Structure 1
């Protein structure tokens, strides 16, 4: 300690925008990560302008980048009735005055009709850019970017669009008195959204949901993206980050002040209390991550594979599902050789259907590759069978199409059983029931056979006839010819159960947040899921480090069994044994890494901000 005091006299204080902190105070407190966020010659990096401002005014401050004004065409290029040009930045007023000379600025958020003229030229019919444009002015800070915004709703002709876009950067007078003069430039891809995030108008989860909104093609994708546009998902991430920060503050206080201050709890009891909170948080994050995987099925589509023997009716069923002749149907076995992929909106779910080669055991492999006889599998069909099996194992839902008049092929049975063991949802469609003489008895026999062979519940076994669905008369009284619609409803029910939100079990009602948060967790992106997994790894490391805090599993350590305690007084209680085994420094570092992973989801940067951590520490 004396050496550190001497060092303290000769080292300068670290420059912190809100409060100076001595280097030695940080070293004594072992808060090494805090040093990274200060400006010194020894720092890894200086504080960014955003960090400087946030130390003083918090996260609600508005930050303008380079004081530049950006503009871009917000609607799709090409011919249209209307095109929208969006302008954001401090020069919006000057741009308006140049395009609409001698006209007053419109009332905020009121559409006003104006005629646009070429900048720096007297208004005349020859200098008109657009004879009638709607102008909207949105003053800062209550805008999507947090800056002044000007929107020009002009006629959508390509020539008019080019003329107005070319005129905007010329709006500032050459003899601008501002030093440096404002910049007007075309926006980079995503720059409007980036400014909205920087100025705290949108969170990263909201921005990612906005991308899903623009790319949504099905009803389920639309609902998923709409749920993600609220701020509650980001608020949940922030509450978890804050909880990790508070837990870390508990351990930091124990590290820094355990010798100087009196604590009501022993180190073991304190670690056990923090570990209990972390276990509850871990269960919530695990459920959130599982819902993110389910939401990805809605976003990217559910992979469905049709598996069966040759001529079982896979291609016919595919054509009935998509409503067109997407696959060739023929009486010849082995017609489908490669995987036929078709995307379809099925009841609001995006589905990627795959029709594949029929599975059969290879007889004489080789020949002319055309499968010319019974039991003869050529080289091409053999490769198709190999791809069919691989596609089945990679699918989310497997539809086993079985000919009702034949027994289950051993290859089909083995592949389907392997999919069941992997946890893939398997649905069985018994086709060609029109050939059965006694339908009721045959259906009961088939359900029993499927249950014993594939362990598929009876409510996922459907009896259909693609032939009846094709040949049915449009004026027929049968509303569901061939029971294909009933099969599709059962398939949609399977999709719904696969993509519904999971709600974690909890020991008490206090641990269960609003149930709607679990629905919104379906909108978590792949990036968020990866960071959640990283956070869970650090939480597991923390629980491992403080595992000794459970003193109920410790017994007093006899003196003779531990040579390290030779000649010393051995601990006589289980609590003392546990205290010796706990590495609080590693546990605190695990919490810091976990909070950092959570912070990167919302874009708040590193979680080890010294002011936040020290605030928690000194409160304790």
Structure 2
């Protein structure tokens, strides 16, 4: 380290400690040349103190020669520099033009500086707005995903090579394994690979929740407190809160960052017995009933499509008797959602009306009985009224830092997000690897990768069907089945090659390389 650099580090000890804590790559030599006129002409100077950096190929972001101009960010300076660059075309140095959208990234891909998975991760990096989206993008920028896909592709090439060797050279060569054992061995390899690809595909779907946002639906009876809860979740009055039933007629959707997760929360119309609408009378009253019924239909549709459903129940005082309101329409809809997918949380609102904890516990047990399959830790007690009292600055009972238990519910909701987006890991330790945490990177798989993985799985399924119904001991009469099976492996490998944009499973040299390596052909 030079004396000048050491002196600078001593003058800035914090910066020095940070720099010295990093492991830098091998030293790259650079040359600094200061270019300035003794007496600059203010009429021709574009920027009085600019920096020009030249990066020679191939060790650049694009793999090509790169020249960077670092100028001050004033709009007038930038315009003057760009105009001056256009004048360089008159010097016969080659055409200088503006880059097309994404052209630098495209050049990096064409020059093998990035693969398609890294290109997609770069797009995620630019679009990230929450912490979880940032982490997802960072996982994808490393090359581990591409290496995994390439490893699987090579395994398929190897398996295909074994089958083609069986077809082409079975009469001329002596194999250590019988044809039947060899086919069974290849099938076992494919089954093992299929399980890993299935998990990769499932994790790609989970990653899409982080990338595109988790959709949440608030479901419940009119006046249960859905709109109040929405306002507390987003921290502002996003929905109208009224004692009048049926205030919300359509889905009100709000996007927000909740614990680092991007969410889209939808407040829906209250659910109740649709026959009640017919009792409103005729004329305008009947029209209101029809509008409310349409709102209920949309509420059910939104809940069925959402990643998370929050069912809001409440204590109500009916005819002088306090009880948990359990509308038949709400319970029936919630029970279907619990049975179909584990994405339901239940919030019991107006806990301030309950005279004792025993009543709250009894209400919890009642809900568990009505919604089989719902876990106890997915039920929360809240009071939007108590939370409103603290938010308004009015005095409230007790000194609880979380009046109304809204924050406790939000923490439970964030934990549920973590469960939804946690990477699945193969149960087989050999498949999981020495460090199962590497499967977190599979969350970086995009929708495009998911589609190709599913297509790959179809080819693997077709291969297994073909092999399992064929007995190599039958001789050449079923040889065509093995040829078809090998083609299924080629199709599966093609899908993996399309994910990274590298290689082709149809390369004859690669397949023959497997044949010559495993079997002594032509001696």
2:49 aligns with: 132
Asked if the contact 1:431–1:466 (Cα under 8 Å) also holds between the matched residues in 2, the reply is yes
1:410 aligns with: 328
Instruction: Work out which of the residue numbers 379, 382, 387 in structure 2 matches 1:464.
Output: 382
Asked if residue 430 in structure 1 is aligned to residue 334 in structure 2, the reply is no
The superposition leaves residues 407-447 of structure 1 with CA deviations (integer Å, 9 ceiling, x where unpaired) of: 3111111111111122141000000011112x222122112
1:303-314 aligned within 5 A: 303-314=215-226
Distance 1:222 1:474 in 2: 39
* 1:369–1:188 CA distance, 2 compared to 1 (3 A): farther
Asked if the contact 1:110–1:136 (Cα under 8 Å) also holds between the matched residues in 2, the reply is no
Distance 2:299 2:35 in 1: 63
Distance 1:162 1:129 in 2: 10
2:426 aligns with: 504
2:101 aligns with: 189
Secondary structure, in 3 states, of the residue corresponding to 1:353? strand
Deviation for aligned residue 1:290: 0.6
Instruction: Work out which of the residue numbers 197, 200, 204 in structure 2 matches 1:288.
Output: 200
Distance 2:102 2:30 in 1: 24
1:531-546 aligned within 5 A: 531-546=452-467
Instruction: Work out which of the residue numbers 449, 455, 469 in structure 1 matches 2:366.
Output: 449
1:246 aligns with: 158
Instruction: Work out which of the residue numbers 208, 214, 238 in structure 1 matches 2:126.
Output: 214
Asked if residue 601 in structure 1 is aligned to residue 519 in structure 2, the reply is no
Deviation for aligned residue 1:184: 2.2
Deviates more, 1:262-271 or 1:360-369: 360-369
Distance 2:86 2:168 in 1: 57
Secondary structure, in 3 states, of the residue corresponding to 1:125? coil
Distance 2:138 2:97 in 1: 32
1:383 aligns with: 294
Asked if the contact 1:109–1:138 (Cα under 8 Å) also holds between the matched residues in 2, the reply is no
The superposition leaves residues 360-412 of structure 1 with CA deviations (integer Å, 9 ceiling, x where unpaired) of: 1122447578769xxx9612111111111100110111000001234311111
Compute the TM-score of the two structures, normalised by the length of structure 1: 0.73
Asked if residue 590 in structure 1 is aligned to residue 511 in structure 2, the reply is no
1:482 aligns with: 404
2:85 aligns with: 168
Asked if the contact 2:157–2:511 (Cα under 8 Å) also holds between the matched residues in 1, the reply is yes
1:151 aligns with: 68
Distance 1:463 1:579 in 2: 70
Instruction: Work out which of the residue numbers 295, 302, 321 in structure 1 matches 2:214.
Output: 302
* 1:546–1:436 CA distance, 2 compared to 1 (3 A): same
Asked if residue 356 in structure 1 is aligned to residue 268 in structure 2, the reply is yes
Distance 1:434 1:210 in 2: 49
* 1:513–1:612 CA distance, 2 compared to 1 (3 A): farther
5+ residue gaps, structure 1, are 1-106, 117-121, 552-574
Compute the TM-score of the two structures, normalised by the length of structure 2: 0.86
2:250 aligns with: 338
The superposition leaves residues 466-490 of structure 1 with CA deviations (integer Å, 9 ceiling, x where unpaired) of: 0000102488621010111111111
The superposition leaves residues 60-112 of structure 1 with CA deviations (integer Å, 9 ceiling, x where unpaired) of: xxxxxxxxxxxxxxxxxxxxxxxxxxxxxxxxxxxxxxxxxxxxxxx966787
Higher helix proportion (structure 1 or 2): 2
1:37 aligns with: none
Deviation for aligned residue 1:139: 1.7
Deviation for aligned residue 1:516: 3.0
The 4+ residue runs of structure 1 with deviation greater than 4 A are 107-116, 366-372, 473-476, 577-582
The superposition leaves residues 346-365 of structure 1 with CA deviations (integer Å, 9 ceiling, x where unpaired) of: 11111110001000112244
Asked if the contact 2:139–2:444 (Cα under 8 Å) also holds between the matched residues in 1, the reply is yes
* 1:113–1:271 CA distance, 2 compared to 1 (3 A): same
Distance 2:498 2:363 in 1: 53
Secondary structure, in 3 states, of the residue corresponding to 2:51? strand
Distance 2:334 2:150 in 1: 44
